Amino acid sequence: MLPLRRLSLTVVAQALLACGCGRDEPELPAATASSLSSEVTDPRAFGCPRDILVARRAETNTTISSFDPDSFTLTPITSTPRYELDAVGLNPLDGFLYGVSNLDPRSGAHAPRVVRVDREGRSELLADVPQLSASDWVAGTFLDDGTYVLGSRGSTHTAWRWAKLQIGLGTAIELVDTGELELRGSGPYAWAAHPHDGKLYGFSPHDGKLVVFDPASHETAAFERPLTQIGLQPCGVAFRASGELLLNCRSSNPALDNLYAVDPLTGRERLLHEGIQLGDSDLASCVFR
């Protein structure tokens, strides 16, 4: 594992340019790498929407909505009873949402499990991955090959970690690799894969900077310049297919959020809309068209 390098904006830009319970609900289909296609045909899947999918957590469920980042309209789709999901991502291979339920919905004990969700709100626990049990997984996204990449929340005594998972047939899921995020301070509470270079971008509420994790080399870097308009607030993260990065961040009013667009080449942010009521949400998008 290489140590953290705080890269200048020039170095980052050059690098980017160079890259060119038992189951008591119906089983949902899963995809393998050989099933990659440009169109998802299963009617229960979310498919490849042009809008952003928003997964908003409540005490005992997660509400899924569609958010149009141009008109700033939010349209409810469904809700998943039983599971409060973190680290939500959209699988480009099968068009279903996946997230992590960090707490057992019956006992409340810490027991991270991956959950698959369809557009009707039906959810299914995937097989247990024992290596996930020691961490609280908060960030999640998918790569173009269907790899599910998670990031865990660290503390004073525990490191922020990453894990790469491969979704298999039925409820099968396999841990591909895991390790520590080499960070000074807080890591990102959410991240998203860049549609062009496959690196993961998130926002650190510790120092207000963009953090970049390369899932291939496992290197972590942070932009030099803080995003001064945002401040030290947790942010939901999603890319658009164009490569524009969207951040949904809390504002001084705890009931409202602000939406920002960030250029990942320069690290410059601009305010798109004030007062969006997305709450404590994960964002997921289809960018590998």
Which tokens is 248 given? 């949904």
How many CB atoms are located within 10 Å of the residue 135 CB?
Answer: 23
Estimate to the nearest angstrom the gap between the alpha carbon of 141 and the chain centroid.
4
Query: In whole angstroms, what is the distance from residue 165 CA to residue 146 CA?
Result: 9
CATH number for the domain running over 5-19+33-284 = 2.120.10
Q: In this structure, are residues 86 and 99 in contact, taking their beta carbons and an 8 Å threshold?
A: yes
Instruction: Give the pLDDT of the chain (289 residues) as one tens digit per residue.
Output: 333 333 443 443 444 444 444 444 444 444 433 334 446 678 999 999 999 999 998 878 899 999 999 999 999 999 998 899 999 999 999 999 999 999 888 888 899 999 999 999 999 999 999 999 989 999 999 999 999 999 998 765 568 899 999 999 999 999 999 999 887 667 899 999 999 999 999 998 888 889 999 999 999 998 988 888 887 778 899 999 999 999 998 776 767 789 999 999 888 899 999 988 787 789 999 999 7
Q: What does each C-alpha distance from 281 to 201, 221, 263 come to in angstroms?
A: 17, 25, 22
